[in-house]
Amino acid sequence: MALVAWQIYTTARNAQERQLSEAAQMLSVLVDNELENVEASLAALATSPALDRADLAAFHAQASQVPVEDNATIVLSDLEGYRLLNTRVPFGAPLPKAVSAVHRYRTAAGPEGPVVTDLFYAPVGRSFDFAVQVPVMRGGKAVYYLAMGLPAASLSRLVQKTHLRKSWRGTVADRNGIIIARSADSALYTGKPIRQGLRSHIANAPPAGLYYGVTLDGQRVVTFYSRCRSGWTVLLSVPRSELRLPAYRATAMAVAVMLAVLGVGMLLARKYSLSITGPISRLRQQADALGAGTAVTPMDSGFVEADLVSRALAGASGQIARHQEDLQRQVSEAVAASERAMVTLMHSQKLEALGRLTAGIAHDFNNVLQTLSSGVQLAQLTRDDARRAQLLVTCQQAIERAAALIGQMRSFGRAQEVNAQLVVARDTLAALLPLLYSSLPREIALQADLDSSAWQVRVDTTQLDMAILNLVINARDAIGAAGIIHLSAGDLAQAVPVEGAERRDWVQLEVRDNGRGMDAATLARAVEPFFSTKPPDRGGGLGLSQAFGFATQAGGHLVLDSTLGRGTSVSLYLPRVEEAGNVGPAGQAFTALAREPNSVLFVEDDELVRETVVAGLRGAGLAVSTAENGDEALAFLRQNGQVEVLFTDIVMPGSIDGVSLAQIVQREFPQVRIIVASGYRKMPIALQGVTLLAKPYDLQAALAAIQQELPPSP
């Protein structure tokens, strides 16, 4: 009976909550209707012939005759938001020179359609007002903006006409949670914010619901809220004691009826109790099992009614089990499909970016090969040692250029890992410039201004390069046939780049173009993943989202500024890092050891690489043994353990690659120091105490790494 009483109480309370929620929604409809009436009046006034002939004096006289609320005003503004007339003051009287408070709402909403503001303080009327604005359209274009400013008190009178109970509170709050109108003490609370807890709840909740809290005058209430079409929120606050009272009464009456019925039923059912106790108990057990999700089998007790219920429970149990299995299967399939689509789109984006660079990379790489070929041929032909040395320096520069190109391309072919390091952003962009030039056609000029930045930042340079490349490619696509892309880097001392950001030193990286730009709707969604205005074969919509993610990951911000028909600028603000540290690559000089030659085992499957590197190592005074693969190297170590340094490649034929070889050597020969080199690695190398070299490596860098790993000379 207690359960039934609780169900009755819950049902009554839920019914009352639904009624009060509907009352809040009806109140929001009244507010919407009031605003729509104002919009209709303004729309009718906007058709005035006086505006066709730009006779503002006649329009002022006409607007002054429009029946409006006390202290209401009609304001005509130009397209820039500056007031042309105000019916609160005589025509020609001075008006505030500032842009109308309504204009920022118009800017956000666009040139067409009505706009409803939040509560603001009107300087002319010196009162809390809100405004409704419509465009004055001529020839399909807006020529003026016509607004009606209404005092907040007019909306309070509308709320008071609903004749709420004395203890209830009806409130209208704007989008910022500021009170516009109230059914009681409106003058006292207008312009004040509702409580923070309620404001946060409404901002993150559905358009309608309820909230348990305390009013501004300290009353514990249940607040029913409903969001208006304008974005305002209507609140109906009811004391908690009043909300529970009808449910208590209904429950008490139902309990009394149940007690009476129970007394009569007990007298009638006593002689049947022994025969039905068992089936009822089993039904209860089956109901509990059904609620716990356990399978239920039908019983055969001879009690027809109980057996019918039991069969129904068993049938429901089977249906629930089948539905759960179907749901789990559908969820698993949907998750798998979503993951496959995500991987495919990410991979397509990388391939797309790599494809755009292919022509320029191939051109630059052919130049590198041409330089090497010519330099080697000339070095073979000349007998002048100085000329031969100069040609070798040129070949070395070409090799470094090829390594840089390969590094740029490799960053698009593997999963990105965060490898933050201290760099000067200006220097990183300067190294990236050749790749950027290669990705642009001749008709599009790239102008770089990097001299005004000298501060350090801590970033993953690969992700920084990808972000700048994505922004430049987006700018290229936005320009189309011909135009200019401007890349700049600058330092901002003690600045706040975006609202809410910390005041500190920032490094600003900007990519600006004179392309077609974006409208407000596109700009609002530009950084969303997979959102793109390009055709399907021109982009996957991940360029800006990658740049946004990079900026956020680096502790900075991305700011978009675009005007349709004038171009777009994208700024990355990265926090300055003032700590001391090594910036960029640093080399170490190798000094020949003043003792017996050291033993190095060099493992490399490529014969040309093996011959050239071993010759350089032996020329520096090292005793070098070689192996062509991991299996051969491991056999050598087990037969002859007199090796101080293992210098191995990663990708090799055979059953043991470089990583596996290093792991085995660490277990079996812990005294051997290990250096690992590779031109490609798909996954991060999870090895402790191992020195990593990236191919192509400088021979001097390899010698320096070996010297660092060797034990000190006695």
Burial zone of 414 (CB within 10 Å; 0-12 exposed, 13-18 middle, 19+ buried): middle
Q: Angle 456-459-464 (CA atoms, 0-180°, nearest 5)?
A: 110
Give whole-number Cα distances, 93 to 60, 85, 96, 110, in Å: 12, 8, 10, 30
Q: Which residue has the tokens 């034929």?
A: 653
Range 364-367, long-range pairs (CB < 8 A, 24+ positions): 364/401, 364/405, 364/434, 364/438, 365/402, 365/405
What is the spatial distance between Cα 507 and Cα 552, in angstroms, rounded to a whole number?
A: 14
Contacts of residue 393, defined as CB under 8 A and 6 or more positions apart, other chains included, come to none
Select from 272, 311, 256, 319 the least CA-distant residue to 293.
319
What CATH number matches the domain at 599-709, 3.40.50.1220, 3.40.47.10, 3.40.50.2300, 3.40.309.10?
Answer: 3.40.50.2300
- Gyration radius from the chain CA atoms: 39
What is the spatial distance between Cα 444 and Cα 442, in angstroms, rounded to a whole number?
A: 5
Q: Which residue has the tokens 């860098």?
A: 701
DSSP-assigned letter for residue 688? S
Q: CATH fold of 1-163+247-294, please? A: Beta-Lactamase (3.30.450)
Select from 690, 695, 650, 651 the least CA-distant residue to 670.
690
Report how far Cα 38 is from the mean position of its chain's Cα atoms. 38
| Whether 583 contacts 423, CB under 8 Å | yes
Burial zone of 431 (CB within 10 Å; 0-12 exposed, 13-18 middle, 19+ buried): middle
Evaluate whether the domain defined by 416-575 bears CATH number 3.30.565.10: yes
Mean pLDDT in order along the chain per 10 residues (714 residues)? 68 78 86 88 90 91 83 89 90 86 87 90 79 91 92 84 82 91 85 90 88 86 89 89 69 69 68 65 74 77 73 80 82 78 62 57 66 74 78 75 62 51 89 83 90 88 85 87 92 88 92 90 72 57 74 89 90 87 43 59 87 84 91 90 88 88 91 84 63 80 85 60
What is the spatial distance between Cα 88 and Cα 124, in angstroms, rounded to a whole number?
A: 8
Report how far Cα 195 is from the mean position of its chain's Cα atoms. 29
- What is the SS3 string spanning 507-518? EEEEEEECCCCC
Q: CATH fold of 164-243, please? A: Beta-Lactamase (3.30.450)
Q: What's the whole-model pTM score? A: 0.38
237 forms beta bridges with 169, 223
How would DSSP label each residue in 436-465? HHHTS-TTEEEEEEEEE---EEEEEHHHHH
How would DSSP label each residue in 567-635? EEEEEEEEE---S----S---------SSSPPEEEEE-S-HHHHHHHHHHHHHTT-EEEEESSHHHHHH
First to last CA, the chain: 93
Helix (H) or strand (E) holding 124: none
For strands 127-138 and 557-563, give the pairing: unpaired
Query: Phi first, then psi: what are they for 143, rounded to 5°?
Result: -110, -30
Q: Angle 223-225-231 (CA atoms, 0-180°, nearest 5)?
A: 145
Contacts of residue 320, defined as CB under 8 A and 6 or more positions apart, other chains included, come to 290, 293
* Residue 696: cis peptide before it, omega within 30 degrees of 0: yes
What is the spatial distance between Cα 237 and Cα 251, in angstroms, rounded to a whole number?
A: 24
**H helices of 123-189, where?**
152-160, 186-189
Query: Phi first, then psi: what are they for 180, rounded to 5°?
Result: -100, -45
Q: What is the pLDDT of residues 548-560, one digit of tens each?
A: 888 888 899 999 8
Select from 475, 489, 473 the least CA-distant residue to 435.
473
Beta strands, E only, 386-437 = 420-424
Select from 237, 190, 233 the least CA-distant residue to 213.
237
pLDDT of residue 593: 43
Alpha carbon dihedral 607, 613, 614, 615, in 10-degree steps, equals 110
